Structure 1
């Protein structure tokens, strides 16, 4: 009886050691497996620009503080490889952001980059706080499909252009640390 317990214990340890279910992934923090730099363009609907608008307020600010706390914006924004709004989009950013502080401008983003270009196919999901007054901000890449299946990483935002509440452009430096 004791020999069979030992056999089963050894078998179980070998199974755990070599099973993909129990495998651990390692990555080096400073060495992404994929890196993509893209530009996010947002044109907020202002009442008379329906042809050009790519986003619209779903709710107005609450009036608490002077930083539009509570304003929710839904968007379908073009993503380009360069800073030019009229360049051929490589993806669309589809999702929403809302302003979530009453003492400064800060937004919380959640969106999917939908790729359909010759270079990439699939989606990439990004979410997190955009502390707009900071020079750079990191948001989490929390998954994806196609060329970005199960992707994990960081999307570093940097404000590239702002025109009041009508238009802004963000540079997104996306570094993936888990790639398929």
Structure 2
């Protein structure tokens, strides 16, 4: 009697695998392009970027190997500091190149605006921080960006060393379902 059960079980498993594949193929792959502006404030009472670890006895800077920064930057659709906030750029940067030229980036773009509220994009990779345009990978996402993959480029839009304020333009291209 047990031998009679095996072919039926195999048929049910094959049908389940086929129907799961059919549903997945019904999903439409979308491509989204967007520009966001990260507002970094590295000093003062409202800072959004801070060094949290580094080599003892060395100055903790972006160019010093081993320095780790935590960030929670407001994101806007324009470079205007007073533009409505559409999300947060939350994560860490670690200067990972011995020569201080590369930073490893782990950033979550957490959307709070109506269009993508609650969705995220996850960015990871090596940023060649002294190049004009830095490219990193978009490795995943949630909400409206499930199964996201793609890339993001960062460019310094504004740098004001006197106030420790900078604006980074982030252009994102992702494919998602």
Q: Identify the TM-score tier after normalising by the shorter chain.
A: 0.7 to 0.9
TM-score of the pair, normalised by structure 2: 0.76
Give CA deviations for 1:2-59 in whole Å, capped at 9, x if unaligned: xxxxxxxxx8xx97787618x78xxx9xxx71111111111113xxx12x21121101
CA–CA distance in 1 between the matches of 2:102 and 2:81? Answer: 24
Match of 1:74 among 67, 70, 81: 70
Q: Structure 2 unaligned segments of length 5 or more: list them.
A: 1-10
1:77 Cα deviation (Å)?
A: 0.5
- Map 1:10-49 onto structure 2 (within 5 A): 20=21, 33-45=31-43, 49=44
Runs of 4+ in 1 over 4 A off after TM superposition: 14-19
State the partner residue of 2:132.
135
CA–CA distance in 2 between the matches of 1:19 and 1:146? Answer: 20
Matched residue of 1:140: which SS?
strand
**Alpha carbon RMSD of aligned pairs, Å?**
3.3
CA–CA distance in 2 between the matches of 1:61 and 1:78? Answer: 28
TM-score of the pair, normalised by structure 1: 0.75
Give CA deviations for 1:111-152 in whole Å, capped at 9, x if unaligned: 111111122121111111110222212111111111212211
